A and B are shown apart, each in its own frame.
Chain A
Amino acid sequence: MNPLMERRLRQLRSRVLVRSWEYRQRQHARGAWFRLRRVLTFAAEAYIVSPDDARQLVAEGRRPEPAGDEFEPPKLIVFATRERVARLRGARPVPVRLTRDLLAATCLVLVPFVTPASRGRTRRA
């Protein structure tokens, strides 16, 4: 076998092994990154807010996203409508990406995409 092809094959198989190892850890700490990305995928917009504002949103009945608890320091992540976010003074919009600002934030409010089905299943937003 051509040595280069053999090396590529070995590399491919190594990546598959690593991927399987990561998959087996999906419910453990390593899976936290997937869960954070997943939550962000469903967010049309993201805002950094103060801890007081975040706690207020929770007090109003919004459930913190469990993905936020899996980081140190923990992140309080809640979904809310854009209208509700507009009433939060000091809410700072950030791109919905794994930027330094977003990762450093301890309190995030996400505005969900609204689809026909998600309207039916959305918790209080």
Chain B
Amino acid sequence: MMVDSQWAFRPAGHHTPADARPPARFAWRLWAWAEAERGRERVAGCHYRPGWGDDVARWTWPTALPILVVVTFRDRLLATIRAAKPVLEAPGVMVVGSEVPNLLEPGAAATLIVSQDLDVGVPVEHHAEVKRQVAELHAFRASPEEPSVWVPREPGLLEVNFIGMDPTQDPAEAYVLDDDQLPLLVFGALSLVSPGVELDLMETRVRLPRAAGLVLEKLVTDRTGEKGERDLLVALGLLMTATPDDIDEVEIMFRRLRPELRHVVRSNLTILSLLEARPGMPDPGPHRADVAALLRRLEGEEGSDP
């Protein structure tokens, strides 16, 4: 069987016009679709800077009554974005976590079934500014149990979960930025994340991370249990939209990790490859060849060690 994978064995930093576009198998559908739709305005208040259009395609293995789940969840996600505009447009803030692939789906289709919250990454250097903006979050209030989580005051919105990002932090470490109003658990793995594409959604400017950093953040974090496996499938969702340049960047960033973390990434890729399909999540089955090619590429001359 011949598998033509975009991830296989192309040295990082070596691009030719031929392989720069279009991306191969893994992302070609989305790319071709986005190209075709470039420039067309979306309905329902969603305007994608890259030019994504109206159609709602799905990446995920469908649930029994997908449309009911998806429409409701997408509406809540978009309403949450609108309600969280004051903080989402604060300096350096990014949406991180499981909602990113939902937002990257054509039309922000949001077909991945993930937890009902919006993870908002707050750079520690901008904590004070974000804290000021939090006062404008009229639709939410801080959870008395967990003050980094803001819960909606009314139905129809998701929780907003504030997470700290510190680019100087070791990816394996974590610390608490203590604060009376907006304390943050600062996850070291988010130091791998940097600003990427901006979307206009519900008249709100939403920054998303660069795909490579977020993929690595997912793969470098310890993943156990159902939540852990779903997080790996979220990483798969991100890989499904990754361009060849993104994959090059994954490789470059991977090589900068220390050996233990490189091992964790490889280990998580093997787990991802062997996962069963789950309703409402990307199915790893059709993408196993790409995961294998990525693993082979990351191992490179290093082989199976360390």
Contact = CB atoms under 8 A, between A and B. Distances in A.
Interface of A: 1-2, 4-6, 8-9, 12-13, 15-16, 18-20, 23, 26, 34-35, 37-38, 40-42, 44, 82, 96-98, 111, 113-118
Given A26-B263, A38-B266, A82-B1, 10 more contacts: A2-B183, A15-B222, A16-B172, A19-B264, A23-B264, A41-B270, A41-B295, A97-B274, A97-B275, A113-B288
B221 to A, nearest CB: 9
A116 B275 CA distance: 25
B8 interface: yes
Contacts of A114: 1-3
Nearest to B2: A114
Interface string B1-18: 111010011000000000
Interface residues of B, number: 42
A6 to B, nearest CB: 7
A8 B304 CA distance: 33
Interface string B277-306: 000000000001101110110000000101
B289 to A, nearest CB: 5
B147 interface: yes
A4 B142 CA distance: 14
B5 to A, nearest CB: 6
Contacts, number: 107
17 contacts: A2-B147, A2-B178, A5-B148, A9-B174, A16-B173, A26-B263, A34-B267, A37-B267, A38-B266, A38-B295, A40-B273, A41-B273, A42-B295, A44-B288, A97-B276, A113-B293, A115-B3
Contact of A5 (B146, B269, B270): B146
B145 interface: yes
B8 A19 contact: no
A98 B274 contact: yes
A9 B260 CA distance: 20
Nearest to B306: A26
A1 B173 contact: no
If over half of A's interface residues share one DSSP class (helix, strand or loop), that class is named, otherwise mixed; here it is helix
Contact of B296 (A26, A42, A82): A42
B8 A38 contact: no
Contact of B9 (A9, A40, A116): A116
Nearest to A19: B222
Interface in B1-39: 1-3, 5, 8-9
A103 B222 CA distance: 24
A90 B260 CA distance: 42
B1 A113 contact: yes
Contacts of A82: 1
